[in-house]
Amino acid sequence: MPEISNVGGMDAETFAAFTSQLERYVRERLIPAEPQVIADDRIPDDILAEMREMGLFGITMPEQYGGAGMNISQYVETIRLLSYALPAYRSITSINIGMVCSALMKSGTPEQKAHWLPRLAAGAIASFALTEPGSGSDAAAMQTRAVRDGNGYVLTGTKRYITNAPFAKVALVMARTSVEPLPKNAHVSAFLVPMDTPGITVGKPDRKMGQQGSQIADIILEDVKVPGDALLGGEEGKGFMAAMQSLDNGRLSVGAAAAGYAKRALDTALRYATERKAFGEPIANFQLIQAMLADSQAEIYASECMIADACRLADEGKRVSIEAASAKMFASEMCGRVVDRCVQIHGGAGYLAEYEAERFFRDARIYRIYEGTTQILQLVIAKTMLREFAAQH
């Protein structure tokens, strides 16, 4: 495992104590509860209460706001360890500690930070509302409107596939403050909207291929009146930048989720290979099985190193769009290969719902899609490369 930077974060000893507590909690509590979470398609309230108690919703919020003050390296490492268990456990916390905390810390006014960060740290669940029925990868083409109304705004539109929408207390909603598209996507602004504001309805949770226990749904906004101080940073036109900065952060988190889950799949495959016998001996003795195990191990290690390096740069205050996109792209594609090998090593059993390999395979598929598809990440990486090349020649 690469070393985790503690620059600007928790002291290394406290972090080490936290991670060993978390690893134990994952092993002894979260993994045994997985069948129940899958059956109910939600995390039971007692586990949510424990996760709040452990401070898992507030790890990135500064201590003055009731959080644990982790830096990006430590928060992303926490996500990696948590993601050894069912992805739903990461989903429920990650929007708070990744996307919304990052947007508030980078762009929020002092009053917005003072109001929202303690609530998020205490476990009020947040959503990040960017995607719409007609705009996913093409995020800036959103149709949701925010029209000035006295001192405030009226929001109208539909946000789609919004993680945690059925449980959320607050959503960071990106909306157009100008009908016409503006340079650098300055027609987009971001709003902190309490989910009990009149005019908001949440659709029925969508049925998905995997990731049971994590719920996504539409957020429908019909003439939703918000005060002027709901505008993130108090300034129009900064919403796209805030969303993209949060996505850099979120992409590190998805990369870590993919790396953590790949490790779970590999450990499961390793155990199965030593137990299952064919031709009179454990299949782990066969070199073609060993090749699949070894490739998986090497690729997981590579993704852990990429993620740790990108996090270290982010903690030094650098813009990490390329590194975050690269780490997320590599880790999610790698996780897809590892869960596929896990099924292959299980043979026929890998196709059965009775074994975990089948579920790993379904759960992992979304990592290559959300918070930037592999194809969008290729564009993000190439665009910056080409721009830097042009500037040098």
Give whichever of 7 and 379 is closer to ligand COS, judged by the CB atom: 379
Based on the shown chain and the rule CB under 6 A, indicate whether residue 139 belongs to the binding site for ligand COS.
yes
20 token code pair: 């060993």
CB of 127 to ligand COS, least distance (A): 10
Closest by alpha carbon to 113, among 69, 188, 61, 71? Answer: 61
Based on the shown chain and the rule CB under 6 A, indicate whether residue 261 belongs to the binding site for ligand COS.
no
Give the span between the Cα atoms of 391 and 148, in whole angstroms.
40
CB of 322 to ligand COS, least distance (A): 10
Among 20, 36, 64, 137, binds ligand COS (CB under 6 A): 137
With helix as H, strand as E and coil as C, how does 74-109 read?
HHHHHHHHHCCCCHHHHHHHHHHHHHHHHHHHHHCC
Question: With CB under 6 A as the contact rule, which of the stretches 80-88, 132-140, 145-153, 305-313 interacts with ligand COS?
Answer: 132-140
Closest by alpha carbon to 144, among 94, 153, 235? Answer: 153
Spatial neighbors of 101 by CB under 8 A, at least 6 apart, are 60, 61, 67, 117, 120
User: Is residue 356 annotated as a catalytic residue, yes or no?
Assistant: no
Question: With CB under 6 A as the contact rule, which of the stretches 165-173, 273-281, 351-359, 376-384 interacts with ligand COS?
Answer: 376-384
Spatial neighbors of 204 by CB under 8 A, at least 6 apart, are 217
Give the span between the Cα atoms of 335 and 55, in whole angstroms.
28
Asked whether 327 and 307 are in contact (CB, 8 A), the reply is yes
Based on the shown chain and the rule CB under 6 A, indicate whether residue 375 belongs to the binding site for ligand COS.
no
Among 88, 140, 173, 364, binds ligand COS (CB under 6 A): 140
Site string for ligand COS, 310-329 (x = CB under 6 A): ---------x-x--------
Phi-psi domain of 147 (left: phi exceeds 0; alpha: psi -120 through 50; beta: other): beta
Site string for ligand COS, 160-199 (x = CB under 6 A): ------------------------xx--------------
Question: With CB under 6 A as the contact rule, which of the stretches 61-69, 202-210, 219-227, 370-378 interacts with ligand COS?
Answer: 370-378
**Positions in the binding site for ligand COS (CB under 6 A):** 130-131, 137, 139-140, 184-185, 240-241, 244-245, 247-248, 319, 321, 370-372, 376, 379-380
